[in-house]
Amino acid sequence: MRKLYSHFLRLPIKWKLAIWSTFLLTLLFFLYNSLQYIVINRWIYGQAESQIEQTINDIKDYYSDKGNRLNESDIRHSHGFLKDINEKGQIIWIVDEHSNPIVRVSNQMPLNVVKPEYSPIHKIKNVINDDDTHLLIVRAPLKSAYFTGTIEIVRNQAPTDELVDNILLILFAASLSAIILNGLGGYILSRQLLMPIQSITETMQRIHEEDLSKRFVFYDNGDELSRLGHIFNQMMNRLEASFHQQKQFVEDASHELRTPVAIIEGHLSLLARWGKKDPRVLEESLEASLEEIRRLASLVEELLHLNRTEDLSFKSEQTQNPAAVISGVCHDFHSLHPDFVFEQHLASLEDISLPVSAEHLKQILIILLDNAVKYSKDDKRVVVTGKVTDEGAHLLIQDFGLGIPAEDLPRIFDRFYRVNKDRSRERGGNGLGLSIAKRLIERAHGTIEITSEENEGTTITLTFPIEKPNAAAPEQPDNLLHP
């Protein structure tokens, strides 16, 4: 039994479902049909008995005219009446107290099936004869001052038995076909239901063996399994993206780290050969190496930062009154770069909250304001404007500096991408700032757009989704930080 159960546990789910449902249905049918059979059986046989009892009562009623004076002759004369009321497959006997039949009538029943018998009490008996005939015998006493005997009715139960057998057969056949149909239906249904799971398993197998780009193909009818399919595909998209990001990151990082390391190595070997004796070479090489090491340090710092922004867990945080945070960062920048003017129009961002943490908002601003300062020209103005429209809350950072050539704009958010590497290098950039900012904004479900014209300036527009857009921003500057 245990072995059988452990075999059952190892079967595919579709088989388990089909077997379980068939088993339960069989049990249900068995109980229900047994009950039904018992009830029908009792009713049919009870019906036969009460018919006989009714006949006995009719006979007694017939004799009741004679009252206590009923005698053998009266009984003999009742032959016609008894014949009339007798039913098919039935014998009626009236016997005296010595079991001698006084009168007997039979309707399509041989009289020798049973021997008549006197009985002083009311008796009901079921008898199976030697030739397998099922007989129902009812004996009821009949008594007067001149006669003592019994009314005996013998009924052939074969038609009743046949009816009951037929009912049993019908019940059994109907149950069996229902069970077979249910088993088949259960198997087909569970196979149908489990097909998507089978397909997911195959897809996972292929992903495991071949490549990460394989996806689960399913019929999207919105049920639980197609939702599972959606989630599975989404999860795979994220995993694949994250995998490629990591790969790209390692490739980019090693590529970018190679240059400063090669420069430092060059200078150090120069020093090893001649520099120790030549104070000018020593001074220059040390200075250059130190510069590269500083760059390396900042690069490593930014790389770590970038990696942190790729953390897949998403914490939804809010910044209440973002105008205050933005204004604070502008103030800090003004302290660092007193020759710059930071013009602010932030009134419309005062009463709203942005779906980004204050810390991340500051980081984004630091990157953008730092670029605005780094790539400035003579006009040292930076305009920061907040606006709320139907699309969400916007923050515009406009400078009037070097600008970005149109051909570089599509790649500006790529990691390590720098417009004119020398210009960026001179100004201390690693080409990571904008990609960090973009990632932080996307985590908040926002967008970043850039418009720029070379030697005219650049405008960066950040858009954050917000729940209730407020009124449009006023035109007048709210705050002006200038030298």
Q: How far is the CB of 381 from ligand ADP (least distance, A)?
A: 12
Task: Determine, following the binding rule CB under 6 A, whether residue 229 of this chain makes contact with ligand ADP.
Answer: no
- Residue 178 or 366: the one with the smaller Cβ distance to ligand ADP is 366
Q: How far is the CB of 421 from ligand ADP (least distance, A)?
A: 8
- Residue 151 or 402: the one with the smaller Cβ distance to ligand ADP is 402
Binding positions for ligand ADP, 125-184, rule CB under 6 A: none
Q: How far is the CB of 298 from ligand ADP (least distance, A)?
A: 9
Q: Which single residue is written with the structure tokens 């998507």?
A: 196
Q: Which two tokens stand for residue 391?
A: 């699309």
CB 387 within 8 A of CB 396: yes
- Residue 91 or 303: the one with the smaller Cβ distance to ligand ADP is 303
Task: Determine, following the binding rule CB under 6 A, whether residue 429 of this chain makes contact with ligand ADP.
Answer: yes
Residue (of 469, 472, 466) closest to 318 by Cα position: 466
- Residue 45 or 417: the one with the smaller Cβ distance to ligand ADP is 417
Q: Which residue is at the shortest CB distance from ligand ADP?
A: 429
Q: How far is the CB of 304 from ligand ADP (least distance, A)?
A: 15
- Residue 356 or 419: the one with the smaller Cβ distance to ligand ADP is 419
Binding positions for ligand ADP, 448-477, rule CB under 6 A: 458
Q: Which of 78, 371, 385, 463 binds ligand ADP (CB under 6 A)?
A: 371
Q: How far is the CB of 415 from ligand ADP (least distance, A)?
A: 8
Q: How far is the CB of 460 from ligand ADP (least distance, A)?
A: 7
Q: How far is the CB of 403 from ligand ADP (least distance, A)?
A: 6
* Phi, psi (deg, nearest 5) at residue 2: -60, -40
Burial tier of 170 (Cβ tally within 10 Å: 0-12, 13-18, 19+): exposed
Q: Which two tokens stand for residue 319?
A: 């910044």
DSSP state of 409: G
CB 372 within 8 A of CB 437: no
Q: How far is the CB of 394 from ligand ADP (least distance, A)?
A: 17
- Residue 460 or 473: the one with the smaller Cβ distance to ligand ADP is 460
What is the separation, in whole angstroms, between the first and last Cα of the chain? 92
In the chain, the amino acid numbered 243 is F
DSSP string, 355-372: SS-HHHHHHHHHHHHHHH
CB 253 within 8 A of CB 300: no
Q: How far is the CB of 365 from ligand ADP (least distance, A)?
A: 13
Task: Determine, following the binding rule CB under 6 A, whether residue 419 of this chain makes contact with ligand ADP.
Answer: yes
- Residue 260 or 401: the one with the smaller Cβ distance to ligand ADP is 401
In the chain, the amino acid numbered 70 is L
- Residue 33 or 259: the one with the smaller Cβ distance to ligand ADP is 259
Task: Determine, following the binding rule CB under 6 A, whether residue 256 of this chain makes contact with ligand ADP.
Answer: no
Task: Determine, following the binding rule CB under 6 A, whether residue 363 of this chain makes contact with ligand ADP.
Answer: no
DSSP string, 360-405: HHHHHHHHHHHHHHHT--S--EEEEEEEEETTEEEEEEEE-SS---
Binding positions for ligand ADP, 431-450, rule CB under 6 A: 431-435
Q: Which two tokens stand for residue 465?
A: 């989704």
Distance CA 45, CA 36 (A): 14
Task: Determine, following the binding rule CB under 6 A, whether residue 430 of this chain makes contact with ligand ADP.
Answer: yes
Residue (of 225, 65, 52, 11) closest to 136 by Cα position: 52
Distance CA 264, CA 289 (A): 5
Q: Is the dihedral of CA 53, 54, 59, 60 positive or negative?
A: positive
Q: Which of 63, 333, 375, 400 binds ligand ADP (CB under 6 A)?
A: 375
From 293-301, 312-320, 396-404, 461-469, span contacting ligand ADP (CB under 6 A)? 396-404
135 SS3 class: strand
Q: CA angle, 452 as apex, 447 and 456 as ends, to 5°?
A: 150
Q: How far is the CB of 433 from ligand ADP (least distance, A)?
A: 3
By the criterion CB under 6 A, which residues form the site for ligand ADP?
A: 367, 371-372, 375, 399, 401-404, 412, 417-419, 424, 429-435, 458
